[in-house]
Structure 1
Amino acid sequence: MAPSVNDLLASNGDTIQEPNAKKVKPNPTSDPTVYDIHHQKFISDGLPSSSEAWIERARQVSAILAIDAASRDIENKSPRAEVALLKSSGLLKVLGPHAFGGGGQTWDVGYKVIREVAKGDGSLGMLLGYHLLWSTTANVVGTEEQKHRFQRLIIENNYFVGGAVNPRDNDLNITDHGDHLVFDGFKNFNTGGVVSDLTVLEGVFAGTEHHIFAFVPTEQQGIQFAHNWNNVGLRLTESGSVKINQIRVQWGDALGWDVSTKLPDPTVLAIPFATLLLPTIQLVFSNFYLGIAQGSLDFASKYTTTSTRAWPYGGDNKQSPTEEFYILERYGNFFAHLRAAETLADRAGLAITDIYTKHGEARTVTERERGDAAEWVASAKVVTTDTALRVTAGVFEVTGSRATGRKVGLDRFWRDVRTHTLHDPVAYKNRELGEYVLLDKVPEPTWYT
C-alpha cells in the first residue's frame, strides 16, 4: 500500500525520494530569528478570540512587515522569516475549526485579515490568501473524512500550504498504479511552495477530463523547484515553476474521489458547490489588491507630510504640500475610491460567507445562488483592479520625483498590483457582468469564474 500524507510526513518523505534528482540552487532565505521578539509575544498572547481581535492581529503583523518591506523587496530573499511570522501570529489558523485549535472565523473575516497584511507587504498578503484557500480546499472538494483529517493535520501542526495549481498548464498527468496514483509533469507557476510544509497538487486523471487535488509533503525530491521567480512585483511569493516528478499519492488522499470505484464521488464533487473554490480565490485576489492600494496611500501620505515640497512656481504658492490644492484633491479622490472598493469587497465577502454558511454541509447550492455570489466577486475584482492600479500609480503625483528612489520603495505597491492583476484578464469579468445585467445570465463555472 502506498504511504499516506501522514506517513510521508512522519518519514520526511524518504519513501519517495529520488537520489539522482537534479539539484537547483535556491535563493538565499531570510532568517526567522529576526522576528524572535514578535514570535514570543504572539505565542504568549495566544490566538485572538473575536473577529475584531483577529483583524487587529493582522494589523500588528502588517506593521511589523511594513518596517523593512522596501529593503526586503530589493534583497528578494526566500521569505522563511516572514512565513514564520505568519505562523507565530496565528494568522494561518484564522479559518480553522475551534475543535482543532483554529480561529473559527468565516471567510468575510479571512478576507479582511488578508487585506490588512497586504497593506504592509503585498507578497505576504498574497501568500496568506493563497494559504487560506488551499488549507480549506478539502472543505469544498473533499469527503467529510478528508475535510476533518486535513484540517486537523494543517491546524494542529500550524502548517503553511503552498500550491502547484495552475489550470492553464495541462501537462501535469495523473496515472493509476493500483493502490496509489502518480503525479508527474510540470507547472509554470506555483505559489509559496518553496517555503511551505504541504503542497497542493492538481492535475488531470489520465484518460478522463477529471481533475484531482491532493496534499503532499513539500520536502521530497519529487518536487523540484526551479527557483526562477524574479519578477517585477510580488517578489517574495516564490511563484516560480516546479517539476513534479513521480509523486505517489494514496487513493485515499485524492480529494473527493471514491476509493472503491476510483471515480469522483458525486455527493462530494457536486456541481456547482465544488466550483466555489474559484469565486473564493478570486475574492482573495481582490482583497490583497485593495490592501496593497490602501498601503500605498498610507505610505504616500506619510511621505508627503514629511518629505514632499510645495511647488514654488504656481502663482499661488503655498508653504506646505498639504496646502496644495492638487495634492489635497488627489488624496481625497483616491481615498473616496478606496472606501467604495472596500465596501464592495466587504459585501462580496459576506456573499461568499453566506454560501458556505447555508450550504457547506449539504452542498446543495443552486446555480443561481452560486452565480449571484460570483457576480458580487466579479464586481469587486473589476473595481479593485481598476482602483488599485490607478491609486498605486497616482500616488507619485502627490509625492514628487524623489519618491521614485528605489530605497524609498513606493514603487513596490504598483509593481505588486500590476504583476498579479495580469493573472486573468479583467476584461472577461466586465463582459461577464454585462451578460449578468443585460441577459440575467449567471456565469458558467470555469477555472477563473
Structure 2
Amino acid sequence: MTAAHVIADDAEALAVAASLAAQFRAGAAERDAGRRLPRAELDRLSASGLLAITVPAEHGGADVSARTLAEVFRLLATGDASLAQIPQSHFAYVNVLRRQGTEGQRKFFFAELLAGKRFGNAQSEAGTKHVQDIRTRLEPQPDGSYVLTGVKHYSTGALFADWIPVLARAEDDLLHVAYVPRDAPGLTVVDDWDGMGQRTTASGTVRLDSVPVPADRVVPHHLTFTGPQLHGAVAQLLHAAIDAGLAGAALEAAAEFVRTKSRPWFESGLDTAAEDPLLIQRFGELALQVRASDALLVAAALAIDAARADLTDATAAEASIAVASAKAFAATAAVEVSSALFEVAGTRAALDGLNLHRFWRDARTHTLHDPVRWKVQHLGRHILNGTPPPRHGLL
C-alpha cells in the first residue's frame, strides 16, 4: 500500500468520503453477491487518509468533529454498508488511545494511523453469560510483558487489520486493551463469518494462543468508565450513522427503480409509476423517516462535540441520550425503508440478480448489534425519573 494522504480538515474529510462513497457504490452489489472481500477498497480507504481523521492536531491529524465523523460514516454507508462497518471499531479503539494511552503509546500509534495503518477488533465472545462477560486473559510475565489467551467472535476488521486491539481481563480482573500486530505469533484470524447481511465485513473469529504482548502495547480501558466519558456515545454514533446511510441508500435505490423500471398499476390510469399519487404518498412517508434519521444523527453528533468542550456528568449523559435517540430511530428506519423498497418497487425488484435485497439484509443484520429496546428504556428512565444513562460503553 502506498503512503497515506494526510487530511487537513473537516471539509476535506467530507469531500474525500463523498468521493469514496461514489466509488464504492459502483461495485457494492457485486461484492455482496459474490462475497468478494473489499481488500482493494480498504486499501483505498487507508490511502485516502480518512482512517486518521481523529488523530489529535498536536500529533499531526485533522482531529475532526464528531459531526464530521458521523457524516463520513453516513456517506460511506450510502455507498456500501458492509464496507462502512469495517472501520467502526477502528475509530473506537483510536478513542481508547486518546483517553487512556500514555504519551509514548499515542505518539507511536498515531504515527501508524497517519501512515494508513488499520485497527481491527477482537472484542466479543460467544458462549459467555452476556456481552460484557469477557474471559480472554492477559497474563503477566516475569519480565513485565503479557501473554494473551482466548477466542473472539464477530471480529469485524480483524482480517484486514495491521493492528488488532484485543479486549481482555488482566490479573486484577479489570478490562484492558492489548494492541497486537496482525502477524503476531499465536494469533489466528479465521474468515468464518456467514451472516445473511453485512456479508463482506469478514466479521469472523480471532484465536489467541499464548500471544506475546509487550507492556507498552497494553492500555487500561477500565479507567475510561470511572468518570464522565464519551467512548460509548462515539461508538454508537457511528453505528447510527451506518443505519442512517443505509436508510438513505435504500430510499434512493427504490426511487431510481420506480422512476426507470416500474410499471404503473393499471387502475391508476397513469403513464408512469412515478406519477401514482399512492406511491408518491408512500415515498413521502419514507423520506420523512430518512430525514428524521439524518437530523437526529446531526443532533447527537453536536451533543458529543458540546460535551467534548465541557465534559461533565451532565454533558456526557446528554450526549449518550442524544446518541441513543439517533441510534434507535435510525435502526428502525433502516429496516423499514429497506423493506418498503419492495412494496413501492413491485415484483420485479425481488429478482435475486438485482440484489436489491442487500439493503434489507444489511440493515437487519447491522441493527442486531445491540438492542434498540434498551436504548428506549434508557430514554424513558431519563425523561421520567431523571435517571442518568449507564457508563458501560454501549450507550
In which range does the TM-score fall when normalised by the shorter chain?
over 0.9
For the 8 Å contact 2:82–2:201, the answer to whether it is kept is: yes
Structure 2 counterpart of 1:433, one-letter code: L
Q: What's 1:159 paired with? A: 117
1:175 aligned counterpart, secondary structure = strand
Q: What's 2:34 paired with? A: 75
Shift of 1:101: 4.3
| 2:71 counterpart (105, 109, 112) | 112
Q: Within the alignment, does 1:233 sit opposite 2:192 as a pair?
A: no
Shift of 1:100: 4.3
Alignment coverage as a number of residue pairs: 388
2:138 aligned counterpart, secondary structure = strand
Q: Within the alignment, does 1:440 sit opposite 2:395 as a pair?
A: no
Shift of 1:284: 0.9
Q: What's 2:149 paired with? A: 184
- Per-residue CA deviation, residues 13-56 of structure 1 (Å, 9 max, x unaligned), is xxxxxxxxxxxxxxxxxxx9xxxxxx99xx7xx55544233212
Q: In 1, Cα distance between the equivalents of 2:159 and 2:92? A: 17
Q: In 2, Cα distance between the equivalents of 1:63 and 1:253? A: 37
| 2:180 counterpart (203, 213, 216) | 216
Shift of 1:400: 1.3
Shift of 1:371: 1.4
Q: In 2, Cα distance between the equivalents of 1:417 and 1:141? A: 33
Q: In 2, Cα distance between the equivalents of 1:431 and 1:100? A: 40
Unaligned runs of 5+ in 1: 1-31, 33-38, 258-263, 359-364
1:443 aligned counterpart, secondary structure = coil
| Max Rg structure | 1
Q: What's 1:15 paired with? A: none
For the 8 Å contact 1:140–1:276, the answer to whether it is kept is: no
Q: In 2, Cα distance between the equivalents of 1:368 and 1:340? A: 25
Q: In 2, Cα distance between the equivalents of 1:244 and 1:209? A: 18
Q: What's 1:203 paired with? A: 168
- Per-residue CA deviation, residues 108-130 of structure 1 (Å, 9 max, x unaligned), is 21110011000010011111332
Structure 2 counterpart of 1:345, one-letter code: L
Q: What's 1:397 paired with? A: 343
Structure 2 counterpart of 1:282, one-letter code: Q
1:2-401, aligned counterparts within 5 Å?
47-155=6-114, 157-166=115-124, 167-168=131-132, 170-178=134-142, 179-206=144-171, 208-256=172-220, 269=224, 271-273=226-228, 275-312=229-266, 314=267, 316-358=268-310, 365-401=311-347
Unaligned runs of 5+ in 2: 125-130
For the 8 Å contact 1:108–1:353, the answer to whether it is kept is: yes
Alpha-carbon distance change, 371 to 98 in structure 1, aligned in 2, over 3 angstroms: closer
1:442 aligned counterpart, secondary structure = coil
Shift of 1:171: 2.5
Q: In 2, Cα distance between the equivalents of 1:151 and 1:319? A: 58
Shift of 1:169: 5.3
Alpha-carbon distance change, 100 to 444 in structure 1, aligned in 2, over 3 angstroms: closer
1:163 aligned counterpart, secondary structure = coil
For the 8 Å contact 1:198–1:218, the answer to whether it is kept is: yes
Q: In 2, Cα distance between the equivalents of 1:408 and 1:345? A: 30
For the 8 Å contact 2:306–2:315, the answer to whether it is kept is: no
Structure 2 counterpart of 1:110, one-letter code: L
Q: In 1, Cα distance between the equivalents of 2:224 and 2:205? A: 28
Q: What's 1:418 paired with? A: 364
For the 8 Å contact 2:123–2:153, the answer to whether it is kept is: no
Q: In 1, Cα distance between the equivalents of 2:329 and 2:191? A: 33
Shift of 1:95: 1.7
Shift of 1:98: 4.1
For the 8 Å contact 2:95–2:231, the answer to whether it is kept is: no
1:302 aligned counterpart, secondary structure = helix
For the 8 Å contact 2:36–2:200, the answer to whether it is kept is: yes
TM-score using structure 2 length: 0.92
1:119 aligned counterpart, secondary structure = helix
Alpha-carbon distance change, 128 to 252 in structure 1, aligned in 2, over 3 angstroms: closer
1:368 aligned counterpart, secondary structure = helix
- Per-residue CA deviation, residues 390-423 of structure 1 (Å, 9 max, x unaligned), is 1111111111111112221211111111112111
For the 8 Å contact 1:203–1:211, the answer to whether it is kept is: yes
Q: In 1, Cα distance between the equivalents of 2:235 and 2:11? A: 22
TM-score using structure 1 length: 0.82
Structure 1 counterpart of 2:119, one-letter code: V
1:161 aligned counterpart, secondary structure = coil
